[in-house]
Structure 1
Amino acid sequence: MDSVRAGPYGQLFRPDNFVFGQSGAGNNWAKGHYTEGAELIDSVLDVCRKEAESCDCLQGFQLSHSMGGGTGSGMGTLLISKLREEYPDRIMMTFSVIPSPKVSDTVVEPYNTTLSVHQLVENSDESMCIDNEALYDICFRTLKLTTPTFGDLNHLVAAVMSGVTCCLRFPGQLNSDLRKLAVNLVPFPRLHFFMMGFAPLTSRGSQQYRGLSVPELTQQMFDAKNMM
């Protein structure tokens, strides 16, 4: 939290919107959902309520969280269910980072993810799934990075999140709000888990020498190697 506040983007956040806990959830979903997270949830909801009340026309909520740890999965899903209770007619959209045994060695990640998915099926309207292993594969294979840092992974995630929310932030004909996005993408209410593809992806060294046509871009976008 302190590194975010002191970083280059610290001024984007209101100082009283930071909510701190004294201890983590220790990679335990139940701790995040029922004990440690439950102690903090009221102050988090107060911050959300203040922001919601200052909106002219609230479309919904976007939550970015991981599903492998304890806080992101346990407390993240608790926050989703509480927001769903308080704002039942608003859209709930999540960006959920799915763990991989190749990237992390935490034994309980599959359990945390399974418990989180159950909550997301019930309480979320749109879930954008981001696979940790796919991010690393893109960094190694496509971007030709030998030792990808978390900054490199976050840069990829930020680019794809920016692309997904672009239609909400700028005027356009299609998917102009969260509800229209759901109408066009969700066939049945419980089937709301989306994969994200991104193009063009090229290594930094070859960016200036590469020109892509529209068919090439489209093919790249639907290629399994570019799915996150």
Structure 2
Amino acid sequence: MSELIQINAGFNSNEICLKYLEKLIKDHHLSQQNMNNRENNEQFYERISTCFEEHEKYRSFRGVFLDEQQSLDQIMSIQEQEFIDPNYIIGKNVYLNGTYYHGRNIFGQVYQQEFEDKLRQIHENSDNLFGFNIIHSLSDKFSGISMQAIQSLDKQLFCSSTSQFPNLLCCSAIEIYNTILSLNQLIFNCNYTMIYDYNSLSKRVQEQYKYQSLQNCHDIVAETILQNNCSMRFSGYQNGDLRKLAVNLISFPRMHFLSNAFSVINRDKILSDQIYNLMEPRNQNFTFQEDAKNFYRMQATISRTNDLYYEIQDSTSKSQNKTAWVKDSFCNINCKVQHYELGDTVLYIGHHNYFGIYCRQLCLKFLQQWKRKAYFHYFASEGADEFDFIEAEQTVADLYSEYITYDQVDQESME
């Protein structure tokens, strides 16, 4: 049975993980009332070790939390604290400013040894460790710490990330620098990256909650993480883990950046129309809505339904990718256990070419600042080298070139 480690670095990451943990507890019916009725809920506990360590008298969430001490003190006051192992909380009385290199240096000086000790402890308590998932933001002050944490992971295990990208229209120069340095590390050190854009998240929040807040954005991200690994936690008609998704969705290793859209299935409406609506890039709920073209390299769905799986599979079978050698390929994964609150749900995952355009926009923003060496002295005082910035920009520009090259090849093949 595959086991996942959840790693969280920074305030926003920990907020998302706590919401995810709250949903995870409800999804597995781990409240005291449900535990007393275990005979009728055996399916909820069959694969519970995917996300929880099972001890003699209790279960603990397999997650590591890194943050400033003041922020982590709040974790132990939440309702779900009984499922959080205090040994996996790494809080330090340090102050982080907003630069990538300061976070990287602080990790090496303060967090690294204890973090590696916690990972070793989790390794020893695991029977069949599958890999890691790290939640992080590319632009905030913990970006350097989260990237150093990824580099400390076992390269033989699967590494996925839930990454929040900044809105390039309104972010600062320091956030641009942090993002391009972090993205450079993600390209080389991660196998599977689910991307989120706070601008698109905010629009989705306004549609769903009628008012915008960071907590509601975090709630949506946590919901998609719950759906993303549901097939590893419950049985289904066609199960699959994150590695199966990576194999089906990622045609070239560096191009592993995926977007998603989540929806509750309405049985009163035509199912094929609901699935098709999710597949429209302009309707992608959580990523780069502006100017997204309907050009998907690969596509997949993860559904949670007991009786609509074949209908979903039939709906997606009519869709075509724009990649010539897998023109009709569409990966479907199903979990027979419905969502604890929403019922039948479906998560759509798409690998489309717009991320290449985002890389180009990021490089242009970076070069506008870099020509004047704007704010570089902040990074230089923390040991940054100009070559690191040039190398990161070149790597991201090369990724954009890859997207353009393969898109042209695919379009020529389709003609």
CA RMSD of aligned residues (A): 2.1
Matches within 5 A, 1:111-122: 111-122=177-188
Query: Are 1:222 and 2:289 an aligned pair?
Result: no
Secondary structure of residue in 1 paired with 2:162: strand
**What letter corresponds to residue 181 of structure 1 in structure 2?**
L
For residues 15 and 30 of structure 1, do their structure 2 counterparts lie closer, same or farther at Cα, with a shift above 3 Å needed?
Answer: same
**For the Cα contact (< 8 Å) 2:229–2:241, is it kept in 1?**
no
Equivalents in 1 of 2:95, 2:273: separation in Å? Answer: 45
**In the alignment, what sits opposite 1:133?**
199
Q: 1:39-78 to 2 correspondence within 5 Å? A: 39=109, 40-71=111-142, 73-78=143-148
Larger Rg: 2
Aligned to 1:20, the other structure's residue is in SS state strand
Q: CA offsets per residue over residues 112-168 of structure 1, 9 Å max, x none?
A: 11000100000000011111111101112x21513x222211111111111111122
3-state SS of paired residue (2:129): coil
Give the TM-score normalised by structure 2.
Answer: 0.48
TM-score (norm 1): 0.85
Task: Report what 1:90 is aligned to.
Answer: 157
TM superposition shift of 1:88:
2.1
Deviation, 1:211, is: 3.6
Q: Which of 207, 210, 233 is the equivalent residue of 1:145? A: 210
Alignment of 1:1-228 (within 5 A): 1-33=72-104, 35-39=105-109, 40-71=111-142, 73-83=143-153, 87-100=154-167, 106-140=172-206, 142-143=207-208, 145-146=210-211, 148-172=212-236, 174=238, 176-200=240-264, 211-223=268-280, 224-228=282-286
Change in CA separation of 1:214 and 1:157 when aligned onto 2, cut-off 3 Å: same
**What is residue 204 of structure 1 aligned with on the other side?**
none
- Given residue 193 of structure 1, which amino acid in structure 2 is its aligned partner? F
Q: Tell me, what secondary structure is at the counterpart of 2:261? A: coil
Look up the SS of the partner of 1:70 in the other structure: coil
What SS class does the counterpart of residue 100 from structure 1 fall into? coil
User: Counterpart of 1:51 in structure 2: which amino acid?
Assistant: I
Amino acid at match of 1:212: K
1:27-61: CA deviations, max 9, x gaps? 1100111x211121111121122112211111111
Amino acid at match of 1:160: T
Q: Distance in 1 between matches of 2:239 and 2:156?
A: 18
Contact 1:30 1:70 in 2 (8 A): no
1:180 to 1:156, Cα distance in 2 relative to 1, 3 A: same
* 1:11 aligned counterpart, secondary structure: helix
Q: Which runs of 4+ in 1 moved over 4 A?
A: none
Extract unaligned runs of 5+ from structure 1: 202-206
Higher percent of residues as strand: 2
Paired residue total: 213
Q: Contact 1:138/1:226 (CA < 8 Å) preserved in 2?
A: no
Flag structure 2 segments of 5+ consecutive residues without an equivalent. Answer: 1-71, 287-415
